[in-house]
A and B are shown apart, each in its own frame.
Chain A
Amino acid sequence: MGPLAGFKIVEMFCIGPGPFAGMMLADMGADVLRVDRPVERDYGYPDHKYRTLYRNRRSVALDLNTDEGHETLMRLIEQADGLIEGNRPGVAEKLGMGPDVCLERNPKLVYGRMTGYGQDGPLAQKAGFDINYISMSGALHAVGHADRPPVPPLILAGDFGGGGMFLATGMLAAMLEAGRSGEGQVVDASMVDGSAALMSYIYGGHAAGAWANERESNTVDGGHYVYHAYECADGKYVSVGALLDNFFENLRDKLALDPAEFPTRTTRDTWPAKREKLADVFKTRTRDEWVELFADTDACLAPVLDLEEAPHHPHNMERKTFTEHGGVVQPSPAPKFSRTPSEIVREPPTNGQHTDEALTDWGFDAAELAHLHERNAIH
């Protein structure tokens, strides 16, 4: 039972960051009801249980093209604290479920809108994916090797860190406000905005002249030899993040580096040569030997784990950073709450798996359900 127990959210069919926000709220205990379409597209998953973003909630299948299906949705929205939708701007309005319609039915509704480019602006109607949005915020240009094109950090900076997280946080802030004012509002979360916001610190550094536009030439972009992933004797990697002087001194001592050659403060032009030198040093032992050697040293060194290894690392095991649920190893709910812990209680649903059960809980009686089935409004 997480901190959001008792709050009700309607999540309209969408993919990527919208469901991620739905997962965050559902992990924290909100009753998130996913409204799916009667016919599901094939996204290539061998089984629903692998669609981790859809965990912890129930699915109802509605046909919004029927009057009864639309009215069913409106009855759900009347009872909800928040709504998540991820259509292109204007589509929800065309479906007769835009903010005006919904807020009229439920004045305290927090209406969460998740898009790439935002609700307005010249590109608002453009198709796009994570990589496009983070390229518009200046984030992508900064990620990658100096002599190669930028590489996307998967879809973590757009869809999730810069997308769903901003929607979820904004919706909860608006729900707090609605608790006082009795009024809902629209939350416009765009991945361009969100990935830009993640870059706030970097933009400040760039304005100060401390952060260069070139990739792999700054403190935390892999340019600095103290902040780097180094290959080890076994082809695995260690991450070194010894940015602060005292940590770097510990690293230097342990690696027996010459303080004259490796002073704590250096200029950018010396970094590539020092990177090469350290690369040679780290090739002399295996990853796990380095981790062992640095076990009791504050030098900011950690093993680079792959997706197979991370869930089994002793620290992650003890923290339960990962959970196996329904046979699928997946990241656990985060952050952690001391009094009202979040947990995974449901596997990802199939479309309409809970139509009757959930609608009953949301106040529909048996006769109404029978009627809606008969009209093909629900499935």
Chain B
Amino acid sequence: MASGPLNGYKIIELAGIGPAPFCAMLLADMGAEIIRVDRTIPADLGLPQPREFSVLERGRKRIAVDLKQADGVQTVLRLVGQADALIEGFRPGVTERIGLGPEDCWAHNERLVYGRMTGWGQDGPMATAAGHDINYIALAGVLNAFGPKDRRPLPPLNLVGDFGGGGIYLALGVVSALLEAQKSGKGQVVDAAMVDGAASLGAAIYGMYAAGTIVGERESNIVDGGAHFYGSYKTKDDKYVTIGSIEGKFYEELLEKTGLTHEDLPDPRERSNWDGYREKMAEVFETKTRDEWDQIMLGSDICYAPVLTFDEAPKHPHNAARGTFVEIDGVTQPGPAPRFSRTPSAVQSPPEDTGANTDEVLTAWGFSAEELDRLHDAKAIA
């Protein structure tokens, strides 16, 4: 039995890349039974890697189905008939053409929550255009806010589009629609678009911009690295530390620990002072190693932390004590989040290979041995 609050919920994932698999990982970590439906012939995405490194695919069974065959589509529809939700990340209209669109699915199961993950959304003039994270966050107005002011905007990896503004929006929408379906007995479409999600993550930023308390230029505001009291600084050993001393009492502590004074940095809230003050602050931080700053700062309320690399973060005493990272099949990876006190989430299983569980899953979901033989013979499943 899977652990986690979603134990007992059944979700079909039509295989894709990026945000939809991330959504499925979150739901699987929380205990939902996810069946990932892959193609019988794997797509060549130019990024081949052994299954254990495909962290987003952990915690679920994988079946391979040929969706170009009617038998394949019917096979998925039989699963849909027993599922609580389906998630897919094709361009708009594709599942309809396959015969697995919302109406096709509701004909088999009117309670089904139909989760759709795209970059641009299900409609609008750019709906069918190709794109990636960087494009979606560009259109949401947030990419322009990331990076130094004298350089081009820089994508924060794909954290704001694919994941923070994408997959987790779909997960939130799906669980919300599941709650509603319990009352109404009806499913619906959840349209999660990364443009919408990335914009939504910027709700506070847009509010502050409208209020005139932030400006549109990069690195010119408090939380974009513009202010000398909020940002990252290089240390003597070429590592980095972060400070976030926004509140007055924390700022006083920052001055005390860095040895800077109000005479050195008069009028610290005045934007036009910040470039120069950042330089002064940078000079101070370069005089000691990161570990030395740890010793000085960690006992204080400065809002300080060392900047950790991928290799360091899992080993940091706080992360180790919390079990923030786990090791699955030799691969160190972030563990399930958030945490539940009574029904803890878990990495239910390592990532599987494509089609690793086809017969096992279909048998468990009610297909007979004869049916499996026939579907295999027709190459509708693999």
Interface size grouping (class) on chain A? 35 or more
B355 near A: Cβ within 8 Å?
no
Q: Is the interface of B mostly helix, strand, loop or mixed?
A: mixed
Residues of chain A lying within 8 A (CB to CB) of residue B30: 170, 173
Smallest CB separation, A160 vs chain B (Å)? 4
Residues of chain B lying within 8 A (CB to CB) of residue A302: 126, 131, 135-136, 138-139
A149 near B: Cβ within 8 Å?
yes
Tell which of B9, B121, B143, B242 touches A176, judged by Cβ atoms closer than 8 Å: B9
Does A199 lie within 8 Å of B334, measured CB to CB? Answer: yes
Smallest CB separation, B279 vs chain A (Å)? 12
CB nearest neighbor in B for A166: B338
CB nearest neighbor in B for A52: B207
Residues of chain B lying within 8 A (CB to CB) of residue A142: 157, 310
- Residues 9-59 of A contacting B (Cβ, < 8 Å): 20, 23-24, 28, 44-47, 50-53
Question: A155-B205, A336-B193 known; 20 other A-B pairs, CB under 8 Å?
Answer: A46-B212, A138-B313, A139-B156, A143-B156, A144-B232, A148-B151, A154-B223, A170-B337, A170-B340, A176-B175, A187-B339, A188-B338, A197-B336, A201-B158, A213-B311, A220-B132, A220-B134, A220-B158, A243-B132, A338-B191
Does B155 lie within 8 Å of A117, measured CB to CB? Answer: no
Residues of chain A lying within 8 A (CB to CB) of residue B157: 139, 142-143, 199, 202, 218, 220-221
Given contacts A230-B152, A302-B139, A334-B193, A156 and B130 within 8 Å (CB-CB): no
Q: Is the interface of A mostly helix, strand, loop or mixed?
A: mixed
Does A229 lie within 8 Å of B153, measured CB to CB? Answer: yes
Q: Mark B127-171, 1 if CB is under 8 A from A, else 0.
A: 001111111111111111111100111111111101111001111
Does A308 lie within 8 Å of B171, measured CB to CB? Answer: no
Does B155 lie within 8 Å of A221, measured CB to CB? Answer: yes
Stretch at the interface among A61-69, A90-98, A234-242: A234-242
A290 near B: Cβ within 8 Å?
no
Interface size grouping (class) on chain B? 35 or more
Tell which of A23, A204, A303 touches B56, judged by Cβ atoms closer than 8 Å: A204
Given contacts A136-B308, A300-B130, A331-B206, A239 and B138 within 8 Å (CB-CB): yes
Complex Cα distance, B179 from A173, in Å, reads 9
Does B133 lie within 8 Å of A241, measured CB to CB? Answer: yes
B22 near A: Cβ within 8 Å?
yes
Tell which of B8, B168, B223, B321 touches A180, judged by Cβ atoms closer than 8 Å: B8
Does A207 lie within 8 Å of B332, measured CB to CB? Answer: yes
Complex Cα distance, B205 from A157, in Å, reads 13
Does A331 lie within 8 Å of B202, measured CB to CB? Answer: yes
Residues of chain B lying within 8 A (CB to CB) of residue A145: 147-148, 151, 154
A377 near B: Cβ within 8 Å?
no
Smallest CB separation, B142 vs chain A (Å)? 7
- Residues 33-75 of B contacting A (Cβ, < 8 Å): 45-47, 49-50, 53-56
Does B160 lie within 8 Å of A135, measured CB to CB? Answer: no
Complex Cα distance, B322 from A363, in Å, reads 41
B240 near A: Cβ within 8 Å?
yes
Complex Cα distance, B111 from A339, in Å, reads 12
Does A45 lie within 8 Å of B170, measured CB to CB? Answer: no
Q: Mark B238-270, 1 if CB is under 8 A from A, else 0.
A: 001111101000100000000000000000000
Looking at A131, A208, A329, the one whose CB has the most chain B CB atoms below 10 A away is A131
Does B339 lie within 8 Å of A141, measured CB to CB? Answer: no
Complex Cα distance, B156 from A31, in Å, reads 34
Smallest CB separation, B44 vs chain A (Å)? 9
Does A197 lie within 8 Å of B154, measured CB to CB? Answer: no
B325 near A: Cβ within 8 Å?
yes
